[in-house]
Chain A
Amino acid sequence: MIEGILTGLSTAFTPMNILMVFVGCFAGTFIGMLPGLGPISAIALMIPITYGFDPASGMILMAGVYYGAIFGGSTSSILINAPGVAGTVATAFDGYPMAQQGHAGKALAIAAVASFSGGTIGAILLLAAAPALAQVALSFQSADYLALMVLGLTAVSAFTAPGQVLKALIATVLGLMISTIGTDPSAGVQRFTFGSLDLVDGISFLLLAMATFALSEALMAILKRDETSAAAQRATAGELGSMRISREEVREMVPVIGRTSILGFFVGVLPGAGATIASFLAYGAERTFASAKDKLKFGKGSVRGLAAPETANNAACTGSFVPLLTLGIPGSGTTAVMLGALISYGVQPGPRLFQNNPDVFWAVIISMYLGNVILLILNLPLIPYIARLLALPRQILVPLILFFSLIGVYLVSFNTFDIHMMAGFALAAIILRLLEFPMAPLILGFILGDMIEDNLRRALTISDGSIAFLWERPLTAIIFALTILTLLAPLFRILRQRRSAMLAGEGG
């Protein structure tokens, strides 16, 4: 492991890669601050730029973008109460009131310190957990992988849209269906191409990610006449106040950071859970365990209330890399886009990544630590200036986002048919978003589609067409049982609610 860390250090600490982390953090913070654009869009927009890089540099840039986008989301949560990302919604609960009281600078500093600590502790835990899990994962067979991927898809569906599980599952199946377009990887026959040569290679993941996230998010802001950029301009035009954190506040933050970073990391490792659930859980737990006096401060600018979700969401972001790097299975929409990027660099993530490409594996882990340091010491002082960039009027910004999305995809394929497909997919994504279908499960389904089919084929061929592989190995059976439990959980909740409503009715 020491050898690995040294490999990672020597790869990450080249001037080029340090520049990548810096550029990534900066670009991520800027895009994350833009209302409506989240980390998936930020990463997708960066992918075309990274195609010429070696995989380690590309991943380092994207890890920086991811952190930057989450941090940028926190900034817009704190300054204008408009979280660009679901993972920073809980940040606004106490961050915005604090900014309203004239302590915007302090709120940003607390958020940055909490993010830094959460990310750093997360990176240390990742350092320990990832190689261990990768060792275990080497014994996994096709059926286990299939089961894990199905569990990942159902968990993401169950967690991303509470109360809308069916819609999320439909979005997942739609993503899987889109993944079957093109040439079948095993037999080489064409499927759903309708004779079009443009579809023979299938639909690129970058095209779908860009159309369903960057393009549709930018267009949704126009569609809904979102006025948050005007609010951003007002908020950043004024003074942010001092960024100094007092000694008492530090003393208040330390135990919170310790607890919530561990909580956040483990929630992040679970498929589907991720930063949003981690931040809400951390906020809820801190409020529950606070003394009666402290409890009153929550929602009115509490230091604990701000530090808890910020630490947890960054720790969870780091945790979500565990299944990606060790199993090759993304647990969230964001890591799914990263998986797509890795595959396009010619790197297959999974337990063998850490044997075949140790430089990528370790450099990504080390660069996460580096990214956190850069976010803290370079980005924080730059926040007022980055925020000024938001003053760029929307009528200029949106066409530029559309242009960079379209040209980014075009530069990979050099086929103008892709531009038309993007327009079509973006329009479809807008309709689906208006109908409250979540997009993250769709992209996850699309990216996992090929791998699921491949593992299903192998599992079925090995068991000669029998579905006994579902329960023959205890590991597979346990994972499938968990999948069924995840699917049934919302049903149990509905039944319990009905029963308590009935009891209340009888009581009344």
Chain B
Amino acid sequence: MTLNRDAAAALGFLAFSIAYGWQATGIDLFPGQEYEPFTPQTFPLALAVVGGVLAFLQLMKSLRAPPEAGESWLRYDWTRVGLLVFTMIVYGATFTWLGFIVATVIFLAAGYLILGERRPLVIGAASLGVAIGFWAIMTQLLGLYLAPGEAFRGWLW
């Protein structure tokens, strides 16, 4: 028997609720706190139980429902979305090291390229313009600190 998508999701949430509940039992308590009516474990444990029950009900519901031929997920543009998420992660990872301006220019230019923009002038202007404009407003006008870039320490500043 193959699981339909809803049943798989319900099973996933059931497993998540059990893992969450199991983790909740490990939350530290102060000595004697276990005799109190409410401890830091109470609410998470209650949520784990409610989550488990809901997931079980959803599982039963989706197993009883006739399997639907939903839209195939394969026809979606996963490549572009995957690449965009990847650039977000790289942006986060290089932000402090490259500094706000360089990291942002790279992030924006990569985003435009991934989505199909090919004109170098547009890519350059729309990434440099936004990064420098935003940097100027934040640091010069509002006096906020934005990472200047560890990589350029001793070289530029």
Contact = CB atoms under 8 A, between A and B. Distances in A.
A166 B57 CA distance: 8
A419 interface: yes
Which of A192, A222, A394, A411 has the most B CB atoms < 10 Å from its CB?
A222
B89 A423 contact: yes
A197 to B, nearest CB: 16
A170 B13 contact: yes
B92 A417 contact: yes
A159 B77 CA distance: 31
B54 interface: yes
A288 interface: no
A118 to B, nearest CB: 36
Contacts of B13: 170, 174
Contact of B20 (A177, A219, A411, A420): A177
Interface in A414-463: 414, 416-420, 422-423, 426-427, 430, 434-435, 437, 452-453, 456-457, 460-461, 463
A398 B111 contact: yes
A315 to B, nearest CB: 34
B107 A464 contact: no
Contacts of B95: 410, 416, 419
Contact of B76 (A224, A423, A461): A224
B18 interface: no
B112 A187 contact: no
Contact of A402 (B28, B88, B117): B88
A447 to B, nearest CB: 15
A416 B93 contact: yes
Interface string B10-21: 100100010010
B39 A187 contact: yes
Given A192-B23, A395-B116, A395-B117, A419 B92 contact: yes
A391 interface: no
A149 to B, nearest CB: 13
Interface residues of A, number: 58
B50 interface: yes
B130 interface: yes
B28 A399 contact: no
A170 B29 contact: no
A414 B108 CA distance: 20
A225 interface: yes
A107 to B, nearest CB: 32
B115 A173 contact: no
Contacts of B57: 166
B51 A422 contact: no
A176 B116 CA distance: 39
Interface in B6-44: 6, 9-10, 13, 17, 20, 23-24, 27-30, 33, 36-40, 42-44
A173 B21 CA distance: 13
B58 A399 contact: no
Main secondary structure of the interface of A (DSSP, over half): helix
Contact of B108 (A222, A399, A460): A399
Contacts of B138: 411
Contacts of B24: 191
B130 A400 contact: yes
A460 B37 contact: yes
Contact of B40 (A184, A410, A430): A184
Interface in B77-125: 77-78, 80-81, 84-85, 88-89, 91-93, 95-96, 104, 107-108, 111-112, 115-117, 122
B40 A189 contact: yes
A399 B108 CA distance: 6
Contacts of A52: 142
A65 interface: no
B152 interface: no
A399 B112 contact: yes
B27 A189 contact: yes
A176 B80 contact: no
B67 to A, nearest CB: 15
Contacts of B37: 460-461, 463-465
A456 B115 contact: no
A42 B94 CA distance: 28
Interface string A152-193: 000000000000001101100110110010001011011110
B84 A219 contact: yes
Nearest to A168: B54
Contacts of B9: 435, 437
A426 B43 contact: no
Given A186-B40, A416-B92, A464-B37, A411 B144 contact: yes
A448 to B, nearest CB: 12
A460 to B, nearest CB: 5
Contact of A222 (B29, B47, B81, B92): B81
A394 B108 CA distance: 13
A170 B115 contact: no
A399 B5 contact: no
26 contacts: A170-B55, A170-B58, A173-B47, A186-B40, A187-B39, A219-B81, A222-B81, A222-B115, A396-B126, A398-B115, A399-B84, A399-B112, A400-B108, A402-B111, A407-B104, A407-B134, A411-B138, A414-B145, A416-B95, A416-B96, A417-B92, A419-B88, A420-B92, A423-B85, A435-B6, A460-B37
